[in-house]
Amino acid sequence: MIWALLGILLGILLGLGVNFTIPVIYTKFSAVILIGILDALFGAIRAEITRDQYNAIIFISGLFFNIILALVITYLGDKLGLDLYLAATVVFTFRIFSNVGITRRALLQRWLEKHKKMKEETNQVTL
């Protein structure tokens, strides 16, 4: 997991250093791709933190599935004259907030348990 986070950080730093503009016609597509990637990333972080069964193959397949699904929905919406990319954006954003909430709760619960255990140990030492 640490390698994935380091790779993402390196990608962000490289992206900030490159002067590249995306044509306006592709902004919908790039937006849903980024949201799909973030959804897969936060899902992987949640699985790692909550000690679910994190699997790199599941992460990679979910990442590519999110990207392809978002692109297909956006493309079909573009051909039909509908803003279907908004539906993909809303769903992915909802999932991101859900995963972040679950991760926050797991981290807070872990911290509270550790704090409670330390407090009990100091009470036993003083007795």
**pLDDT tens for each residue of 6-58:** 887 898 899 888 888 888 888 889 999 999 989 988 888 898 888 777 778 88
Domain ranges of the chain: 23-126
Q: How far is CA 46 from the centre of its chain?
A: 8
Contacts made by residues 49-53, CB under 8 angstroms, sequence distance 24+: 49/103, 49/106, 49/107, 50/102, 50/103, 50/106
Mean pLDDT, rounded, of the chain: 87
Contact between 110 and 54 under an 8 Å Cβ cutoff? The reply is: no
Q: How far is CA 20 from the centre of its chain?
A: 24
Contact between 54 and 45 under an 8 Å Cβ cutoff? The reply is: no
